[in-house]
Structure 1
Amino acid sequence: MRTGAAKHSPRAHRSSPTFVSLTGPAGNIGDALIRRGTLDWARDTSDVLVAYVGEAPDAWLEQLGVPADAIVLRSKRSVPRWLWMLATAPRHPVLIFEAGEIPLDRGNEVRELVFLAETAIVRLKGGVVMRPPRGIRAPTALPLWLHRQAARLSQIALWRDAASAAAIGSPSIAPDIGFVAGVRAGRPWADRDELIISLRGARPLPDDAWVQAVRATAAAGGLRIRTVVQVREDEERARELAALLDGEFEPWGDTDALAQEALLRERYDGARLVLSDRMHVLVLAALSGAAPAELVPHPTRKISDAFATIGLTAVSCDASTTDAEGMAAFLRTQLRRGTETAECVREAVERLTALEADVRETIRAARS
């Protein structure tokens, strides 16, 4: 990867660049999943790709598959260079923001003002601004207003849930970009023999009623319980859950992120039910044909709203207001939704494929 400014590369003068933001922690496979999807939409839109990756290590670039000839900008110290490259780019640059959750609580005013300025610069140059499917978190007045103006200036701005779209005043709702990771056939339903769990380490341990419900569901379905790690900080929680449930614990350990992702997808291929409060655990599980379920106290609407976008409703249950039998009934219901899940995922992938085609046509038209 090149790390110098564009003025040192003769190629930068022959093509208007595509700028793409790809920040994220290397220990979160879900974040890598959606950044990789964003990068895939940016590929081949220019022979000059400029990627801002924040503080990410080289392993993150490998995990995403950032091209070796990309101009990579790191750390907040490179933000002025990023802005200068945008301001001095030839006509018709492309700016692609990263997918994911957008915090709009107090303290994000300056960041949103910078993003609005970036958007305005690109549009004034006759370029294209694209915001892939995103979700809004904790909106407050000024950051939301700034974000709304930037979204309206963008040719393509997509939202992964109806609440986020409504906050912006946009009709453009789309599946989470994580669904572009690829549908997998997985094992035949009758041969799937695992109930897989991956929960956030920051939450309290589940209570006895939750443990009873999960045990009963696994026993009734003849399923082995396995706990896995898709975010490094959740590893100890996975160990604790395996002990509580007499399940098998599968650590992340020293495995590199790409190998861990491949292993997890193999595990989801053999699962009937995957239980998590991590959205992209459930996205990958659904892509493998497993039924997704969120069963935690006071779940946020992040997962339920994003899955409702693809037509799969009622994937979440509030464990704080449900007894053991109610939780077990919820899990039994989810276990009967394998075919429904597969159909919703198929339609989501088709929708995202069409959206990528729209993005590429918008860029082509702007540069023609």
Structure 2
Amino acid sequence: MTTGARSPAEPRRIRRPTRTFVSLTGPAGNIGDALIRRGGLEWAIGTSDELVAYTGAGPDVWLRQLGVPTGTRVLRSKRSVARWLWLLATSPGRPVLVFEAGEVPLDRGNVLRETVFLAETIIVRLKRGVVVRPPRGIRAPTNLALWLHARAARLSQFALWRESGSAALAGGERVVPDIGFGAGLRPGLPDGERDELVVSLRGTRPLPGATWVAAVRDTAASAGLRIRTVVQVREDEQRARELADALGGVFDPWGDTDPIVQEQTLRDRYDRARLVISDRMHVLVLAALSGAVPVELVPHPTGKITAAFASIGLHDLSRDYATTDAPAMQRFLKAQIERSEEVRLRVSDAAAQLAYIESEVRETIRAARA
């Protein structure tokens, strides 16, 4: 008998199929949301024989934006939540559950949702599987929802936070870059060839006043930059049009453009920008990945952007213009333009950290199934 051969009486070990669950909800009209959901999906792809994705009300174009692989079992609408839970509960041993990256609302209306998420986490851990919570931030915490969320996070092998404040609220320890920084570094144009100052602001906030407009226009003129306004979230389109009129800039509409094409167009714009001004975090993340300097210049900033960029070592990118006059705003903006090398270095480090975390996640899953 050959050494190491299996005895005829020895039962054949049958390998059971494995299953990964990933949550991918979000509006197709928000490229920042697509960016971070895609990041979570990339961590999930290839970790199991079967991929199950819950996309909520996401339309077909949302699946294309994220790059959901052919063969994925896609569950849509709230009516499929029961099916999702059944598949999770009846899945073979050692399943993988990947939650969504991004901002987590924990107001009173989310207690039931957090209860379900805690139950999902417990199911996976009882099956000796792996739970991954990609980089997240907490918004509007209330006691019970926060307590449930913190319990679930502590039961997860990976509970990652994109800023220290959220980590402290949940009793977490691991603060890492926002997953959007893993969306791919781009060389863009050399600094000397970058000729644009790009602006993209939320449509739900008041239109900036004359002092802000003067500061941005004068900064662009002194640096020899053309002003362009862009749309990364559909609901901001009218605001971008208004800003272009006020600033004497070029307006790039979204209109009927396919979201995938729109994302590529935006990244091309950021490739040639020296400075990008926005109060949308993932506008600034994509801008920084292209080598543009990201700046938040709005009245009463929330602190979310400041905290997320501080996590990768970039500070003093935000300024409250409600308490700043035009000359001070100009000095602030001109100083930011000179920070391109620092931005590239910090963003490169962030991308490397996220690549390492993804490899760590995959190794943890392999070890759980060994």
Please give the range of the TM-score, normalised by the shorter of the 2 chains: over 0.9
Alpha-carbon distance in 1 for matches of 2:108, 2:300: 23
SS of the equivalent of 1:146 reads helix
Alpha-carbon distance in 2 for matches of 1:217, 1:174: 33
Counterpart of 1:129?
131
**1:122 CA drift (Å):** 0.3
Counterpart of 2:18?
16
Matched positions, count: 356
Alpha-carbon distance in 2 for matches of 1:350, 1:195: 28
Counterpart of 1:69?
71
Counterpart of 2:85?
83
Alpha-carbon distance in 2 for matches of 1:345, 1:38: 19
Counterpart of 2:217?
215
Pick aligned residue for 2:248 from 233, 246, 249: 246
SS of the equivalent of 2:25 reads coil
SS of the equivalent of 2:286 reads helix
Alpha-carbon distance in 1 for matches of 2:171, 2:159: 11
**1:14 CA drift (Å):** 4.2
Counterpart of 1:268?
270
Counterpart of 1:29?
31
**1:31 CA drift (Å):** 0.3
Counterpart of 1:112?
114
Greater than 6 Å deviation, 4+ residue runs: none
Q: Deviations over 1:235-256 (max 9, x none)?
A: 0000000000000001001110
Q: Where in structure 2 are there 5+ consecutive unaligned residues?
A: 1-14
Pick aligned residue for 2:280 from 269, 278, 281: 278
Alpha-carbon distance in 1 for matches of 2:330, 2:25: 39
Percent of pairs with identical residues: 68
Pick aligned residue for 1:348 from 347, 350, 356: 350
Q: Deviations over 1:23-54 (max 9, x none)?
A: 00000000000000100000100120000000
Alpha-carbon distance in 2 for matches of 1:29, 1:184: 17
SS of the equivalent of 1:126 reads coil
Q: Deviations over 1:208-236 (max 9, x none)?
A: 11001101100110000000000010000
Alpha-carbon distance in 1 for matches of 2:49, 2:59: 24
SS of the equivalent of 1:46 reads coil
> Max radius of gyration: which structure?
2
Alpha-carbon distance in 2 for matches of 1:15, 1:259: 37
Pick aligned residue for 1:229 from 228, 231, 237: 231
RMSD value, Cα: 0.8
Counterpart of 1:257?
259
Alpha-carbon distance in 1 for matches of 2:138, 2:247: 35
SS of the equivalent of 1:133 reads strand
* Counterpart residue type for residue 20 of structure 1: V
Alpha-carbon distance in 2 for matches of 1:236, 1:331: 25
Alpha-carbon distance in 1 for matches of 2:241, 2:210: 17
Q: Deviations over 1:89-144 (max 9, x none)?
A: 01000000010100011111100000000000000000000000000001111100
SS of the equivalent of 2:232 reads coil
Write out aligned runs for 1:274-313 (5 A): 274-313=276-315
Counterpart of 2:105?
103
Alpha-carbon distance in 2 for matches of 1:198, 1:238: 6
**1:328 CA drift (Å):** 1.2
**1:68 CA drift (Å):** 1.2
* Counterpart residue type for residue 50 of structure 1: V
SS of the equivalent of 1:50 reads strand
* Counterpart residue type for residue 102 of structure 1: V
SS of the equivalent of 1:283 reads helix
SS of the equivalent of 1:107 reads helix
Alpha-carbon distance in 1 for matches of 2:136, 2:317: 20
Pick aligned residue for 2:337 from 335, 338, 345: 335
SS of the equivalent of 1:112 reads helix
SS of the equivalent of 2:134 reads strand
SS of the equivalent of 2:274 reads strand
